[in-house]
Amino acid sequence: MPRQPRAWQRMLSGRRLDLLDPTPVDIEIEDIAHGLAFVARWNGQTEGDFPYSVAEHSLLVEALFSRLCPSATPAARLTALLHDAPEYVIGDMISPVKAAVGPSYGELDKRLSAAIHIRFGLPALTPARLKKQIKKADLVSAWMEATQIAGFTEAEATRFFGRPAPEMIEGLDIHLRPPVEVRRDFTARHAALLECLP
């Protein structure tokens, strides 16, 4: 009989994460922060001396979400911070690749998201309204990234992501930093939000 292909990954924490059946006990924030700090957005096609990581993007999305929903609970903000957390093991696929891969990518993402959420005391499934609000912040982030570091014109970025209101992005800039700094800030923000949970 042929051997079954390996569907788990050994994490730096020592955990063995089964991608087909992930469990909350195998999720560690240090693994997530480390992985996301080394995963490049835009397939690495960005200007600068460092890649723009999913961890940096997640910090920006959480900040934008907090502006969009100033009365949001710490749990909602934590959900925004972790909105792309599964990418610490499955990577960041640009939308055209996700479309080509088909629904199996979405199913894998859902299973990992549920395990991550449960691990940190959040509902396994994000309520539709909250998901929509986080997506709004995500699109604002995408517009900022596209125009500041990914080579899109404002008109082109607006066509794909919509133009954000000026007050949403005022004072916020894209930061390209060493992964170790981003990992530290992501972990610290996660800890601060976790402390505020009931």
The structural domain count of the chain equals 1
Q: What is the pLDDT of residues 111-144, one digit of tens each?
A: 999 999 999 999 999 999 999 999 999 999 999 9
**Is 115:23 a contact under the CB 8 Å cutoff?**
yes
Question: Does some domain include residue 89?
Answer: yes
Q: Is residue 2 one of the residues assigned to a domain? A: no
- In this structure, are residues 56 and 50 in contact, taking their beta carbons and an 8 Å threshold? no
With 0-12 / 13-18 / 19 or more C-beta atoms within 10 angstroms meaning exposed / middle / buried, residue 193 is: buried
pLDDT tens digit sequence for 55-71: 999 999 999 999 999 99
Domain of residue 130, CATH code: 1.10.3210.10
Q: Which residue range(s) make up the domain with 30?
A: 8-196
- Across the range 4-25, mean pLDDT stands at 89
pTM of the model: 0.93
